[in-house]
Structure 1
C-alpha cells in the first residue's frame, strides 16, 4: 500500500538575546511578599529591568528621609517615595550579578532591607509588601495567591491527562528519546545554529501525515540555566495558533549541559480556509526572548 508522506522545506533562524524583542506580558507582573519577625530572614529580592518601573507598595506609610538606594548614581533615576509606595526605575538593564541594597524606612521606625537585582526569568512591575500577615489585606492577597497556584496545578493536571491519551504526544516522547525505530519518521534536514549563550541543533523529520522538529539546546552561559517559556505553532499567513504536541526533556538546562525539545504537527495543522499554508514554529526561553524560529512548508507526495 502506498502511504502519503510529508515533505517540506524548512528555514530556521536563530535569534540571539541581543537582537530579539522580549515578549510583552499578558498581565502586569504583580508579586506579594509576606514579612515575618524572624531575625534570620534574609533581605527580599526585587527584580527590575531597564526602563521598566517597579512599584513597591507597603501596608503603612514610608519615611522618604530614611528610604535609600545605595550606589544607585548613574544606574537608576532618583527614588520616588509617596505615602505607602516606593518607585524604582533603572536607566539600563542590570545583570543577575548586580546587587543594590534598598533600605525602606517606615514611619513607625522600622527599616526594611531589599536587594534590587535582575533575573533572566522575571521582572517585578509591582511588589506588595505585607508587614502584618494577619491583616485583612494580607489574608486576601494570600488567598488570591493560593487560588492562582491551585488554578495552575489544575491546568497542569488537565494538560498531563490530555497528553496521556494523545497519539501525537506519545510520538513526541519517542522522538525526544531518539526511538525512531518505533515510529515512521525519517530525518530530512539538520542544522547547527550558534548563539551567544546557547548552541541549537535543529533536526526535521517526515512521517505519515506528521511533521516533527527536534531542538537540541547546548547551554554555554556561564551561570544561568536555559528554560523554555513556551513554544508556539501558527499559520504563516494569519498568525492563527495551530495545535501541536510538545515534549521537553527537562525543566532546566544547566550551564555546560544539553537538553532537547520535540514538536509534532499533524498534516491538518497546515490547512487553512484558503488551502495549505506554512507553519511558523517559535521557541521562547524563560525570560521572554525569542530563541529560534522555524518555517515549515508542507508538500504531499506519494512514496
Structure 2
C-alpha cells in the first residue's frame, strides 16, 4: 500500500461479490413475455444469475408434476412450483455457453418451453420476475404491455433529463478529468491508493480529497477470458440511515472486453455528506456488477470534504 492514511480515516473495500439487499427504494426487474409475439420461438429465453431468484408468473396454475428442469442437478436449487408461480434459483452463475431447458405445464395441459440462460452483456441484468401471457389480446396481457410501454417511456425521459443535467454539472466534469488521467487539472489531493485482484479482474483504486468534494477512481483490467467486465451502477448512501445521496459517475468505456483496461471515476460533493440537520456524516459508495451482485464498497469519511 502507498500513501498511508491518517489515523482518523476509515476506508473499506471488498472484492467479494454479494447479492444486493433489496430495500424499499429498489424496484424489482419485471419483464412481460407475450408468447404470441414470438410464435417461431421453440423455447423462450429467461435470463438467470447465480444465487438470484427468478419468478415466472402465469395466467393459470401450473402442474407441479409436469413442470421440470432438465439437466439441472448441481447447478440449481430444486424447482418450486406453487399455484401460478414457478421459482428458479441457480446455485452459481451459468457459463456463457450454458443453457438449461425448463418445461412448464399449465393446468389445462398446455406445455411451454423455456431456456434458462445467463444475462446478455448488452442488457446486463437477470430476470427477477417474468409475467408470461399466451395471447396479447387478453386483458391482463394488454395491461402488462401498456405498463411496460409507459415504463420504457418514463425511463427514456429520465435518461434524457439526466444527460441534459450532466452537460452542465461541475462534478461530472471533474469525474471526466479523473477518467482521462488529468488529475493535475482538478482540485483533488491523493489521499490513498491501493490494489486488489480477484478471479476476473485486477483493480487499482485511488481516493481523493478536495475543497468541498471527495472522489474515488477505479482502474480495472478485465482478466476474464470470455466475459466482459462492466459496472452497472454505483449507489451512494448514508452509512447510518441508508438514505440515498447523489454521486457523479464517469467511465472510460461502457464495458471492458477480455484483457482490456479502463477507469471509472466517482465524485461526491460536500452536500451529499450532510444529514437533514446539516451535520456531516459517513457515506458508503457501493459498486454493482452487470449481474446485480455487489462487487465492492468504499466507506467515505466526511473529513475528506472539510474545508
Aligned to 1:92: 91
Larger strand share, 1 or 2:
1
Task: Compute the displacement of 1:240 (Å).
Answer: 3.7
Q: Of 112, 131, 136, which residue of structure 1 is paired with 2:139?
A: 136
1:163 aligns with 2:166: yes
**Between 224-233 and 105-114, the greater mean CA deviation after superposition:** 105-114
Q: TM-score, normalised by structure 2?
A: 0.78
Equivalent pair of 2:212/2:306 in contact (CA under 8 Å):
no
Q: Deviations over 1:113-140 (max 9, x none)?
A: 2112444954434322222223332222
Change (3 A) 1:70 1:144: same
Equivalent pair of 2:213/2:305 in contact (CA under 8 Å):
no
Cα distance in 2 for partners of 1:177, 1:52 equals 35
Q: TM-score, normalised by structure 1?
A: 0.79
Stretches of structure 2 lacking an aligned partner (at least 5 in a row): 1-5
Change (3 A) 1:170 1:89: closer
Task: Compute the displacement of 1:163 (Å).
Answer: 1.0
Stretches of structure 1 lacking an aligned partner (at least 5 in a row): 1-6
- Aligned residue for 1:24, secondary structure, equals coil
Equivalent pair of 1:48/1:123 in contact (CA under 8 Å):
yes
Task: Compute the displacement of 1:278 (Å).
Answer: 3.4
Aligned to 1:283: 287
Q: Of 161, 186, 210, which residue of structure 1 is paired with 2:213?
A: 210
Cα distance in 2 for partners of 1:124, 1:200 equals 28
**Between 99-108 and 258-267, the greater mean CA deviation after superposition:** 99-108
Which has the higher relative contact order, 1 or 2, with Cα contacts under 8 A spaced 6 or more apart? 1
Change (3 A) 1:98 1:60: same
Cα distance in 2 for partners of 1:299, 1:138 equals 52
Across the aligned residues of Structure 1 and Structure 2, the Cα RMSD in angstroms comes to 3.4
Aligned residues: 292
Equivalent pair of 1:49/1:93 in contact (CA under 8 Å):
yes
Aligned to 2:188: 185
Equivalent pair of 1:45/1:115 in contact (CA under 8 Å):
yes
- Aligned residue for 2:257, secondary structure, equals coil
Cα distance in 2 for partners of 1:265, 1:53 equals 33
Task: Compute the displacement of 1:261 (Å).
Answer: 1.4
Equivalent pair of 2:44/2:113 in contact (CA under 8 Å):
yes
Aligned to 2:296: 292
Task: Compute the displacement of 1:49 (Å).
Answer: 5.5
Cα distance in 2 for partners of 1:57, 1:236 equals 36
Decide which structure has the larger Cα Rg and report it. 1
Equivalent pair of 1:174/1:182 in contact (CA under 8 Å):
yes
Q: Deviations over 1:196-247 (max 9, x none)?
A: 2222211123333322211112222333322223223334444443333221
Cα distance in 2 for partners of 1:237, 1:59 equals 43
